[in-house]
């Protein structure tokens, strides 16, 4: 599996859009590591919160295939347009939505991040418990300052089991991808 095309991100009309960086690539690596599991799940709905360029959803769409609906939310209209361009360049179908966070049910794969501590993440975590389907997975990018262990503990109180599935050091940050599922799932 290869990294989706995204050369338009961060340039021209999309110069205000977050260009894929170490965090995006670490999440892509985690999804690639879980590719067999994700394909066996055969999710119907996948959600990316804060899609930016859309490169992560484009990668997931190439792994899971066209049977799923890929919803990509971002508060930035340029990011929604960039996500649509990324989908077109990679011949996958993504549905960009301009919104703050999300409001739906039955999500089977989701992720969120943010560069300013946990402000956005803490707003989104309560929704994860409601959105995640019984067989769903939730991926979250964190840095050490986000206190990943506390996030795992917080979501465990709501019936989600979490673990760090991939980590790396990027410049002066320790990045981790946390993966969560409902406790009854194996």
- The predicted model gives 33-41 an average pLDDT of 95
What is the separation of C-alpha 101 from the centre of its chain, rounded to a whole number of angstroms? 12
pTM of the prediction? 0.88
Specify the DSSP class assigned to residue 20.
Answer: P
What is the separation of C-alpha 25 from the centre of its chain, rounded to a whole number of angstroms? 11
> CATH assignment of 12-182, given 3.40.50.850, 3.30.499.10, 3.40.50.150, 3.30.870.10?
3.40.50.150
Tens-digit pLDDT profile for residues 38-73: 999 999 999 998 899 999 999 999 999 999 999 999
Burial of 158 (0-12, 13-18, 19+ CB in 10 A): middle
Nearest-angstrom CA–CA distance, 89 and 20: 15
If pLDDT is split at 50, 70 and 90, which confidence band does 115 have? very low
Q: What share of the chain is helix, strand, coil (3-state, %, to 5)?
A: 40, 30, 35
């Amino acid at each position: 599996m290869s990294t989706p095309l995204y050369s338009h991100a961060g340039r021209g009309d999309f110069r205000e859009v977050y260009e894929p960086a170490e965090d995006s690539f670490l999440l892509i690596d985690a999804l690639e590591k879980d590719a067999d599991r994700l394909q066996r799940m055969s999710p119907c709905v996948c959600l990316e919160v804060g899609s930016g360029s859309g490169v992560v959803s484009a990668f997931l769409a190439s792994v899971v295939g066209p049977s799923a609906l890929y919803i990509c939310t971002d508060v930035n209209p340029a990011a929604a347009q960039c996500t649509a361009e990324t989908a077109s360049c990679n011949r996958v179908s993504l549905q960009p939505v301009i919104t703050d966070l999300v409001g739906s049910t039955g999500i089977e794969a989701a992720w969120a991040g943010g560069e300013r501590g946990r402000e956005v993440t803490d707003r989104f975590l309560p929704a994860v418990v409601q959105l995640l389907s019984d067989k769903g997975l939730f991926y979250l990018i964190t840095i050490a300052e986000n206190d990943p262990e506390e996030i795992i503990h917080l979501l465990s109180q709501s019936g989600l089991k979490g673990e760090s599935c991939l980590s790396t050091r990027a410049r002066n940050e320790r990045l981790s991808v946390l993966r969560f599922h409902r406790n009854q799932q194996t």
